[in-house]
Amino acid sequence: MKSLLLSICITLSISVCSQSYQTGHRTISFTDISRNNRAVATELYYPAGTAGINVPVITGTEKFPVVIFGHGFVIGTSSYEWLADSLAKNGFIVALPVTEGSLSPDHEQFGRDIGFLCRHLITLDDSASSFLYQRVAERSAAGGHSMGGGASFLATVYNDRINAIFNFAAAETNPSAKTAASQAGIPALIFAGSRDCIVRDTTQERMYQLVPYPCKTFVNITDALHCHFANNNGTCATGQFFSGCNTSPLSAGNVFEKSTALLIPFLNYYLKDSCNSKTIFEERLNTVTGIVKQRVCSSDTFVCPGNANTYVFTGSGNWSIAANWTNNNVPPALLPAGAEIIINPSGNNPCIVNISQVIAQGAKLIVAPGKNLLIQGNLSIQ
């Protein structure tokens, strides 16, 4: 069945179908001793071998980077399970703080919660008592929706070790998220919705403009609503209804697909050193339909060190021909965990699997948008 599903995904050229993990979920409260032992209740999602509550991390030695995501105003974290599930299946540890869910939230404390979790989860790699012991990479990204999007900018003020930021329909906060954005010297991917009347897209565009990092992207999804990013949460949608902006030809699923198509390679590049993911990200900016984009990337102070276990098909025709692979580097017949194959053939030519290839659990097979992979031999995923 997995081989069949993988074949279908390849035919559709949807790389997120090459997910290698199941999603584990735990509810945990962490304590920030620097703020009078503040309890930070958190919904935690992570790569697992079997989906479920309190299941162990997938077996192996691979370490996973951390993504912290802040919820919107009076919107429960369950409204963002679509994102947490997708990221966990793509090899990220995702934490959604439950704090500041009242009608009078403290934006500063919420930003500090996000910054604290970005820092604290990484320390669990050295904690023998944690189920994440020796499984956490030393990279993190802050993100959020609406209030949480603004708070994600605040988090970068309180934690200068955050490596990247992304958010959806980010709102202004107190202290000012815009002021924080002007100090956020890290890679940024900012999403907005053109039909958002709760937080106008001009707010996110201004935050994007203020970010000083030399490589940043603003994506305005045509016809997306504010609450699409929260899976049409009932409280959120009620506010939209009374604001007169609760209709759109798009579904929440449409918005999820466009968002993750760009977000996953963005995070793969900056958090996992998957160097070819930058090319995939830039190609998708030009192929994902129904978006209006702005991008500045005259330079990028982040230098991807490369992944010796990345194999890139850039030619045309048979898989077995070494010249079709970057540096004549043909992947092994059994692709091990932690390695990845990127299929990006030249022009409209296909890549033809004319041999037997096995993708081990924890490895990835990514097909660039609009590219074709034809299976004439055997391709299986474990």
Last residue of a domain, one of 297, 321, 356: 297
Residues 351 and 276 in one domain: no
Residues 360 and 217 in one domain: no
Q: What percent of the chain has pLDDT over 90?
A: 78
Only one residue has tokens 């001793």, namely: 33
Across the range 270-297, mean pLDDT stands at: 94
Q: For residue 114, what are the CA distances in angstroms to 26, 47, 111, 151?
A: 17, 20, 5, 8
Look at residue 14 and tell me if it is in a domain.
no
Residues 220 and 359 in one domain: no
- Check if the beta carbon of residue 151 is closer than 8 Å to that of residue 144: yes
pLDDT tens, residue by residue, 128-139: 999 999 999 999
Look at residue 7 and tell me if it is in a domain.
no
**What is residue 308's predicted lDDT score, i.e. its pLDDT?**
67
Task: Output phi, psi for 16, to 5 deg.
Answer: -65, -15
* Residues in a beta bridge with 258: none
Question: Cis bond leading into 175, ω under 30°?
Answer: yes
15-19, 288-292, 301-305: segment of lowest average pLDDT: 15-19
Residue 299 predicted with pLDDT over 90: no
Across the range 287-298, mean pLDDT stands at: 95
**What is residue 226's predicted lDDT score, i.e. its pLDDT?**
98
Look at residue 2 and tell me if it is in a domain.
no
38-52, 313-327, 363-377: segment of lowest average pLDDT: 363-377
d(C-alpha 352, C-alpha 376), whole Å? 7
- Check if the beta carbon of residue 35 is closer than 8 Å to that of residue 111: no
Residues 96 and 206 in one domain: yes
pLDDT tens, residue by residue, 92-123: 999 999 999 999 999 999 999 999 999 999 99
Residue 13 predicted with pLDDT over 60: no
Which of 26, 38, 172, 30 is closest to 88 using CA atoms? 26
Residue 12 predicted with pLDDT over 80: no
Q: Which strand (E) or helix (H) includes residue 221?
A: strand 215-221
Residues 236 and 94 in one domain: yes
Residues 211 and 159 in one domain: yes
Residues 316 and 293 in one domain: no
**What is residue 304's predicted lDDT score, i.e. its pLDDT?**
80
Written as six digits, the tokens of 217 are: 């992207």
Where residue 366 falls among pLDDT bands split at 50, 70, 90?
Answer: confident
Q: What is the gyration radius of the CA atoms in the chain, in angstroms? A: 20
Q: What is the mean pLDDT of the chain?
A: 91
Last residue of a domain, one of 297, 328, 353: 297
Look at residue 123 and tell me if it is in a domain.
yes
Look at residue 74 and tell me if it is in a domain.
yes
Indicate left, alpha or beta for 60 from its phi (over 0: left) and psi (-120 to 50: alpha).
Answer: left
* Residues in a beta bridge with 47: 23
Q: Which strand (E) or helix (H) includes residue 11?
A: helix 2-12
Q: What percent of the chain has pLDDT over 70?
A: 94
Residues 288 and 333 in one domain: no
Of the two residues 337 and 74, the one the predictor is more confident about is 74
The number of folded domains in the chain is: 2
**What is residue 70's predicted lDDT score, i.e. its pLDDT?**
98
Last residue of a domain, one of 269, 297, 325: 297
What DSSP character marks residue 57? Answer: B
Of the two residues 178 and 10, the one the predictor is more confident about is 178
Range(s) of the domain holding residue 374? 310-381
Look at residue 13 and tell me if it is in a domain.
no
Written as six digits, the tokens of 376 are: 């004439």
